[in-house]
Amino acid sequence: MSTSRGSSRLSVPVSALVGVLAVAAALGVGHLIAGLLTPAASPFLAVGNGAIDLTPTWLKNFAVRSFGSNDKFVLLIGMGVVIALAGVVAGLASRRSRLPGLALVVLLGVVGIGAVLVRPDAAPLDALAAVGALAAGAGVFVLLHRLAMARQAAGPGTDSDAGAKAGDVSRRRLLVSSAAVAAGAGVAGAAGQFLAGRVDVEASRAALGRIVPDVPAPAVPAGADFAADGSPSFITPNSDFYRVDVNLTLPQLRAQDWRLRIHGMVERELTIDWAELTSRKLVELPLTMTCVSNEVGGPYLSTANFTGVMLADLLKEAGVRPGADQVFTTSVDGWTCGSPTEAILDPRRQAMLVIAMNREPLPVEHGFPVRMVVPGLYGFVSGTKWITDMELTTFGAKQAYWLQRDWGRRAPIKTMSRIDYPGSFERMPGDRPITGVAWAQTKGIQQVQVRVDGGEWRVAELSTEVSKDTWRMWRLPGRLAPGLHTAEVRATDRTGYTQTDQRAMPIPDGATGWHSVQFTVQ
């Protein structure tokens, strides 16, 4: 550092600090203004959402595979690091003159404004947060850069007492201002985060109380699971239900503000609101939902009693025109989904507009106030959460979000099975059963077979069947010798199809292959 003393060049750490603090101020102020106006218009989150949309599919798949439901958290951390590095670069570019760094800070601000405005549900006013962020970032950069230069000029390289004193003063000024900016950015960001959570969607949810269906699902029979042996419980508690979506922030849509427009290739366009939807016959059905990105043995599989309105009835009222082979649905934040009309109108399938899970209003992360579910289809072609628009169209005319990203168009859920106990490399007593789940929505599970160490396939005991649209647990009692073992499982559905051992990747339309687990018997 001594080489730069008294020179007109800022030291590396000081210039880097100026840059980092400028971007921190920008992010904090942007997050605060967004918290006051529209939380999702936070430039930080908008850039994150933009990054999700631009991420190549292979990387997205890698992220979901490696980080699971933490993928969004990892993304935010990663973004924080990248943005901080951009700040460092801006600072270093301005060791002599403030212009290059300032230009970079402004450029970052413009990227933020762009990211906010390309959101599908963006309103012009939403740019305010990003514009504020740009102003704060540029202002802080100019201020701190000037103070740093002043300190540099008056640096302790001068011999005179006066010079040393001036150096002390300017040094203190820079320190105090930097600390103030750092603290201010932190407080602003935290305040924005707090304000973002204040939207009254939880109050709207709580006001609904328990949702009692007109046609309840039958009680879950005894013997519907082998939870005591390590299978999942038949009904997944709402808090444990798997979650998959592309949202960094959850849409905040109150029941009283919800509307669904059904339009396109229909005889009569319909718009229904919450009161109208809930005045209809509310039917409760148990259903196992599955994500196409689930790996063999993966966790994206859960079951709930869903309460809602039969979608086929609504579409009959609207009158679907011939040729409309796609039901194209959009959520309030612009995510889109294409489902085959044929599946939605199929009376055996019971596609629903859902308002409750296990008698509770939909949790916000599962689509409050209204989502769609279609038995037998993977979530990405059927499970639109926060649904607000339904257009009858053709597959030729419109491509939904994941179809644009190389995932399949037709995506019926594949017959699959999983070993839940023992877990991979778990140690187990030799007299405990091996247990797990199998699923083949719309078809039903006929049989599950298990083999240990490549031996004979043995037929497992099955749990009481609740419906063809829900998972079925299996259990294989036995006694295994101490040591290392491998178990494999395969299911046969009621059409007679047995799972293939051929491994396929989840993309484009669901993984295949037998799940196998290595474990040790004590």
Ligand X SMILES: Nc1nc2c(c(=O)[nH]1)N[C@H]1C(S)=C(S)[C@@H](COP(=O)(O)O)O[C@H]1N2
Which residues contribute to the site for Mo ion (CB under 5 A)? 244, 291, 379-380
Nearer to ligand X, 157 or 363 (CB): 363
Could you say which of ligand X, Mo ion, none residue 376 binds, taking C-beta under 5 to 8 angstroms by partner kind? none
* Identified binder of ligand X from the candidate list 303, 331, 463, 470, rule CB under 6 A: 331
Q: Which of 141, 274, 328, 335 binds ligand X (CB under 6 A)?
A: 335
Q: Which token pair is 300?
A: 């994206």
Buried b (16+ CB within 10 A) or exposed e, 237-250: ebeebbbbbbbbbb
Options 11-19, 240-248, 446-454, 481-489: segment touching ligand X (CB under 6 A): 240-248
Residue span binding ligand X (CB under 6 A) among the ranges 50-58, 128-136, 206-214, 382-390: 382-390
SS (H, E, C) 284-298: EEEEEEECCCCCCCC
Instruction: Tell me which residues in 283-312 interact with ligand X (CB under 6 A).
Output: 289, 291
Site membership for ligand X, residue 417 (CB under 6 A): no
Q: Could you tell which of Mo ion, ligand X, none binds residue 245, using a CB distance below 5 to 8 A set by kind?
A: ligand X
Report, in Å, the least distance between residue 236 CB and ligand X.
10
Which listed option, Mo ion, ligand X, none, makes contact with residue 246 (CB within 5 to 8 Å by class)? ligand X
Query: Is 205 near ligand X (CB under 6 A)?
Result: no
Q: Are 24 and 136 in contact (CB under 8 A)?
A: no
Which residues inside 120-159 make contact with ligand X, applying CB under 6 A?
none
In the complex with Mo ion, the residue whose CB is nearer, 48 or 383, is 383
Beta-carbon contacts of residue 422 (< 8 Å; ≥ 6 apart): 230, 428, 432, 434, 487, 517, 519
Question: What is the Cα–Cα distance from 518 to 452, expressed in whole angstroms?
Answer: 10
Using the Cα atoms of residue 58, residue 59, residue 64 and residue 66 in order, give the sign of their dihedral. positive
Q: Which is nearer to ligand X, 291 or 315 (CB)?
A: 291
Q: Of 408, 414, 378, 380, which Cα lies nearest the Cα of 395?
A: 408
Which residue's Cβ has the minimum distance to ligand X? 379
Give yes or no for residue 414 binding ligand X (CB under 6 A).
Answer: no
Q: Which of 386, 439, 471, 514 binds ligand X (CB under 6 A)?
A: 386
List the single partner that 149 binds among ligand X, Mo ion, none, CB under 5 to 8 Å by kind. Answer: none
* Distance of alpha carbon 58 from alpha carbon 352, whole angstroms: 32
Question: Which of Mo ion, ligand X, none lies near 509, with the C-beta cut-off 5 to 8 A by kind?
Answer: none
Query: Are β-strands 427-428 and 515-521 bridged in parallel, bridged antiparallel, or unpaired?
Result: parallel
Stretch that binds ligand X, among 69-77, 171-179, 236-244, 512-520 (CB under 6 A): 236-244
Q: Between 138 and 355, whose beta carbon lies closer to ligand X?
A: 355
CA–CA dist 519, 522 (Å, integer): 10
For 68, 110, 366, 416, the CA distances from 73, given in Å and listed in that order, are 10, 24, 18, 30
Q: How far apart are CA 391 and CA 320, in angstroms?
A: 10
Closer residue to ligand X in complex, CB, 147/387: 387
Q: Which amino acid is at 354?
A: V
Which whole-number Å values give the CA distances from 254 to 94, 258, 330, 335, in the listed order? 48, 6, 17, 18
Binding site for ligand X (CB under 6 A): 241-246, 289, 291, 331, 335, 366, 379-380, 383-386
